[in-house]
Structure 1
Amino acid sequence: MAPHGRAALVRAVAACPGCREEQALHCLVCKLGHASDVVMATALLTCYGKRGLLALAQRLFDEMTRRDSIAFNAMLAALGASGRTADARRLFDRMPDADRTPASWNTVLTCYCRAGDLASAREVFDASLRATTSSLVSWNAMIDGYCKAGRMDAAQELFDRMTGSSPRDVVTWNTMMAGYLRRGDPAAAIAMFRRLMQQQTLRPTTVTMATAVSACAQAGDLALGREIHLSIRRLGTTADAVLSNALIDMYFKCGSVDRALEVFVTMPGGAPNLFCWNTLIAGLGRNSRGEDAVRAFRDMVEKVVKPDAVTFVAVLSACSHSGLVAEGRELFAEMLPVHGVAPRMEHYGCMVDLLCRAGLLGEATRLVRAMPVRPNAKILGSLLLHAHAHARGPGPEQGEEDGVRVGQWAAEQIAELDSHDGAAFGLSNMYASLQRWDHVEMHRRRSKMMNAARANGKEPGRTSYII
């Protein structure tokens, strides 16, 4: 086959839309007598690896009569993408030293980091240093592994060693900033950002700015967040959806609603995506702008942006914080039939919180009892808390459930989930506050019996109150 025809076939292999087409091309390659062509075989091998067709990739690799470093690296990448770390290491150990390129070391190192085996990853990293085949990618991969594992001391130690032949790039700085932010140390992330901005050779990226803005949101530092926003404009940094979303979230968390709305309505590059809408709705709810959050939800749907489970948590929470009972009921009722989003535990939790805050304990209890799955301790704890307050009030409203009986039922349900979560203590307190000392003593005896049964490995009998 002429060189141009061979190149066209390789491009066709790389552009295959699915595995059937790949296998058909594989058969064609064999019929044309190019099965031994290392370039052609490697192109197919890479495609199989990207599709997760590991068995086909392994078979093709084993049948190759000649392999170069690119073929070895393609097989290593396929094994690594499938989580076959041990197999990737065995293949790496079989490779001739001449074929071990920096990409080979990086692939094995990344495999170990992804598997959480940082000891083996560090062993490979140190070996690559001794073999003088390490690259900036190796340093960044090892630092990223430490950061994702929360080992910021080890990550900082490597970061400080990066000089001379392994200078830091902006990815290195971004990785360290994200690591500190993930650990809940926004001050360290901000300090890292300030050091980066003092560099004369590196230009911050949108990821850099988004991470710094997120650190400001976590620290509640509106002044610095505003300063970074002005720097973004001054430097001409493109505010993509990720950076815009970080700015909106930062302004909302710092209480600057108007600036958050300004960023949202002036987003460049087209319409806001679902993540930005979710941040907008959640931010409005967090700042007691529940009616605006509901309107934003309706606007989003009108603009044919399909809501997801996160959207409904945001809008139902907004209704709860603003006391919008009717709106919350309506939104919850239309989740599945209108938007195709099945209510989850967190959505039921929002509705229980909304109804309990509005004093509708009976409706909240009926909703919990009608749940298709068993309620968790958080939902039951909310019922117990509000039942306590309801029982201490001037008396149940007409049609409302009795707070004491709701509290009894919720506490028993929690106790069946976990005997150490404090439900028994909460119910005893409720009885004591009502001066129902006979109930206090009875409940304490029952709790002791249930705990003793659990200690003996027996399942205590269930109690179900009629509510």
Structure 2
Amino acid sequence: MHPIQSLRRRMPTLHRATTTHLPWLPPRSSWLPPPPGCAAKPPPSLSNAAVLRAVKSPSATPRQVVAIYSAAARQRGFHHDLPTYKALLSLLASHRRFRAIELLLARMPHDGLLPGPALLLPLVRSFSAAGRGLDALLRACPSPLSERLLSSLIHALLLSGDLNIARSVLSAVAGLGQPLHARHYSGLVRTLCDRDGVRSATEFLDLLAAKGCVPDVYFYRSLIRDICRRGGNSIAAAFEVVEQMRRSGREPDVEVWNTLVQGCARAGQMSKAEEVMAEMGRNSGAAIADARTYNALISGIPDRLMSQDGIMAFRRMVERGVPPDVVTFSALIGGLGRAGRVWECNAMLGKMVRLGIPPDVACYKVLVGVYRINNMPDDASAIAEAMKYDVLDS
């Protein structure tokens, strides 16, 4: 006999109508006492394994499996398990029974179960493929979604390359009023930058901002720093992110400005770097360019341009009354030394000593590396010995 038919023969029948949230999913109900003169017969029972076999039957239809599911749910003390829900939801998704899926998800907590990423992932894809909004699906899930569940869901979508679905999920979650954190959307934003360009990423950030989810300054710092490190024409993309940041009501802080200055120097756009530093002075929310800003500028200059642009930036720094520190000299010495300008490197070292700025361990390591690169082993050994004594004295 077919498994569906055998189960339907064993389905218990109700002696009275019951109220339910779902017309075809009656809640568990107590059995009525038998009529007078009739012997009490124990009702037939359905196990989770039997229900699962019926759901997975190749010839099963949604109406049949829902009927069996409902009959099992009416049994006293019966709880559907997670494999049953997964199989039934998968079957309903294949038949595009979206409203039934939403009702089943709402039913899961009654059985002490919560949907996980393995259950939600195929449902999200089915809804998206059918052009159905994800708001109703996510609203049917226990609200709010746990941060771990949301992170796992977005991560799985990014791994499979479903960027548009991940964007729709985050947009729907933000639209439901659930707070989003940077760990939820940072991976998507960076993937959008890599694959579709920064314009696509800023459009998505604008969408989140319109729904009340504005990233904090720390997120923008990290994103702008990653973009600037790519080199080439990436500095223009970094400025696009700054414009989106301002549209969202976030003003760049000194760390963002310093990152932009360094990115301009790395791209060889010294005039643009000067414009950014001037903008810092005009912006009331940012500090005036200080030693950290000039250090970022000098450290971003390519080695081949250090003897020209690096020295010029150092002179401008001193002229404007910004005192250099050991980081400034380390950047200059390293760049000049790697460019083979050893005599200028030694001149900078002498200037640092005359200004009373003692070298730190990082500066000593830069000097050792410079002398080794330029095939000066005796000088490298002397610096290494000096570093050893300074470290012992400190």
TM-score normalised per structure 1? 0.41
Per chain length, whose mean CA-contact separation is higher, i.e. which structure has more relative contact order (CA < 8 Å, sep 6+)?
2
More helix by share: 1
Q: Which of the pair has more CA radius of gyration?
A: 2
| TM, length-normalised to structure 2 | 0.47
